[in-house]
Structure 1
Amino acid sequence: MRHNAQRPPSVVERVLDVLGAFTSERPVLTLSELSRRAGLPLSTTHRLAGELVRRGALQRDEQGHFRVGLWLWEVASLAPHGAQLRESAMPFLEDLYEATHQNVQLAVLDGAEVVYLERLSGRRAVNVISRVGGRLPLHATGVGLVLLAHAPAEVQEQVLGLPLKRYTSKTIRSAEQLRRVLADVRRNGYAVSDGQIELPALSVAAAVHGASDTVVASISVVVPAEGTDPLTLVPAVRAAARGISRTLGATLRLSEDAHRETH
């Protein structure tokens, strides 16, 4: 909750607090839990939750527990980086999955975080904590490093000025180290994140360009870190990223990448 202390929260802010109370760890809440997590009186929460249920934004089961409703998913699918990008990417994500049978992900930049739009995963794939609709920090993920490396300067400086959360002993911990890694990503055309979120997992990521040749998304494959040479995955990941970019109408950047790979 981020309210202005000079005035009480508006109705819209209260509704957003109710919706924001749900997380991947707590997708189902009782009314009292919803009230406590939203920071609202029980009576206010009861009234707002009832209205949200009637609109389909929330669902209520026979035990009186609340969860997010399908109507919110329908609305979210209209986001600019939503359904259209996912539909363009799916054939290439599926090809990459068939080549690896590991985790294949599509993500976009949102503020100082990465948001996952899609993830394909097999039963024997290495465990990852990412999920569709979930968020992770930019500095600790392959897709995040790619997106940050190509983000506007002000976004990069914002992230570089933030405390870098440590997940494992391999997580990037300083702004200086992060600057060096981002320079490598721009120079090499791909990112490798080895054990930054979870030690057993390694990801290789590449940029997806849109019609204006700017980076609009990133894709990655996440594999077991042990016994994997990430360079063997780079050609497949970059080829999939170029395929999506062509579908989206990118031209200039693809020509530069192809030239670099042949020299």
Structure 2
Amino acid sequence: MEGQRPTRRAADPPVDTSTVLGKVVTVLHAFTADDHGVSLAELGRRTGLAKGTLHRVVNDLMNVRLLEKDASGYRLGGQMFELGMRASVERRLLEVAIPFMEDLYERTHETVHLGVPEGTEVVYVSKIGGHRPAPAPSRVGGRMPMYCTAIGKALLAFSSPALFADVVADGLARKTPRTITAPGRFRAHIDRIAETGVAFEYEESAVGLVCVAAPVLVGDDDPVAAISVTGPATRFRPEKHAAAVKAAAAGVAATLGRRAALRTP
């Protein structure tokens, strides 16, 4: 196992596995949002760490509740959730955004998302789905590419040209027959979003799903997050809710701005 290359997601930072901290981070990054239990052998495959080293790291992480184990295998522990909720920026964002998201859900009774940018991907930090949520591939803590999601495109339209170049360089892989894969066409699409302040997705990330999103812009129009409403193409008309989504995103931005001003001496 020692010579095997560890499995690493594109958004994970490079890690030096010759250090103790590097080994710990490598193990934590080996878990995905879909995991309900991972065996030690599978962790070894994903991390590339030697069995003895991996066993010591796993035991240390279990001792501090960063990992847990049951009959199905290892999983991230409750302490990871507690630490995540102490992240001040994300916590403030959630405190402000959730009331606006709840209002959107009451208006639409469709799935409402809050996502933040990380590299060339969107990380979903909150989701309100109700009793009949659309079968979306998103999940809290999960990631999706920017280029094929409404939230991602809303963020990208107000980000630096360098980020757009990075997204195109990563490749516009076809997720569905409606995914925009031509860089020139995609550039024109993003430019239109920048003009209107609202992004749409029509079955570009998953067949049967449509979506509308707007960015949360603070300071000098810095896109710190985006809000979206997603529903099945059979019943949801995203264009009818563009104004409400845009207003919700603006409300979150204004509230964040006021709170930041109050914290400034």
Structure 1 length-normalised TM: 0.88
Whether the 8 Å CA contact 1:22–1:28 is kept in 2: the answer is: no
For residues 58 and 232 of structure 2, the distance between their equivalents in structure 1, rounded to whole angstroms, comes to 43
User: Which residue in the other structure is 1:256 paired with?
Assistant: none
User: Which residue in the other structure is 2:224 paired with?
Assistant: 216
Whether the 8 Å CA contact 1:112–1:138 is kept in 2: the answer is: yes
For residues 169 and 43 of structure 2, the distance between their equivalents in structure 1, rounded to whole angstroms, comes to 33
SS in 2 for 1:44: helix
Whether 2:65 is the aligned partner of 1:56: answer yes
Whether 2:32 is the aligned partner of 1:26: answer no
User: Which residue in the other structure is 2:263 paired with?
Assistant: none
* Aligned with 1:103 (options 93, 101, 111): 111
For residues 90 and 98 of structure 1, the distance between their equivalents in structure 2, rounded to whole angstroms, comes to 12
Structure 1 residues 162-213: Cα deviation after superposition (integer angstroms, max 9, x where no partner): 2112210011112112101110100111000110111111010001122454
For residues 138 and 253 of structure 2, the distance between their equivalents in structure 1, rounded to whole angstroms, comes to 23
Task: Flag the 1:35–1:8 CA change in 2: closer, same or farther, 3 A.
Answer: closer
For residues 195 and 220 of structure 2, the distance between their equivalents in structure 1, rounded to whole angstroms, comes to 20
Structure 1 residues 3-54: Cα deviation after superposition (integer angstroms, max 9, x where no partner): 98xx863222221221122112223112222222211111111100000011
* Aligned with 2:126 (options 113, 118, 124): 118
Structure 1 residues 212-261: Cα deviation after superposition (integer angstroms, max 9, x where no partner): 542211000001113543221101111111111111117xxxxxxxxxxx
Q: CA deviation at 1:78?
A: 3.2
User: Which residue in the other structure is 1:201 paired with?
Assistant: 209
SS in 2 for 1:46: helix
User: Which residue in the other structure is 1:258 paired with?
Assistant: none
Whether 2:84 is the aligned partner of 1:84: answer no
For residues 215 and 33 of structure 1, the distance between their equivalents in structure 2, rounded to whole angstroms, comes to 37
SS in 2 for 1:233: helix
Q: CA deviation at 1:125?
A: 2.1
Whether the 8 Å CA contact 2:215–2:225 is kept in 1: the answer is: yes
Q: After superposing the two structures, state which structure 1 stretch, 209-218 or 47-56, moved more.
A: 209-218
* Aligned with 1:47 (options 42, 56, 76): 56
User: Which residue in the other structure is 2:24 paired with?
Assistant: 15
Structure 1: gaps (5+ residues) = 251-263
Structure 2 length-normalised TM: 0.87
Question: Identity rate of aligned residues, in percent?
Answer: 36
For residues 51 and 8 of structure 1, the distance between their equivalents in structure 2, rounded to whole angstroms, comes to 16
Q: How many residues align?
A: 248
User: Which residue in the other structure is 1:156 paired with?
Assistant: 164
For residues 217 and 112 of structure 1, the distance between their equivalents in structure 2, rounded to whole angstroms, comes to 13
Whether 2:248 is the aligned partner of 1:243: answer no
The one-letter code of the counterpart of 2:68 is Q
SS in 1 for 2:147: helix
How much is the aligned-residue C-alpha RMSD, in angstroms? 2.1
Structure 1 residues 47-97: Cα deviation after superposition (integer angstroms, max 9, x where no partner): 000000111110122x37211012112222233541110110010000101
SS in 1 for 2:227: strand
Structure 1 residues 118-141: Cα deviation after superposition (integer angstroms, max 9, x where no partner): 000022121101011111100000
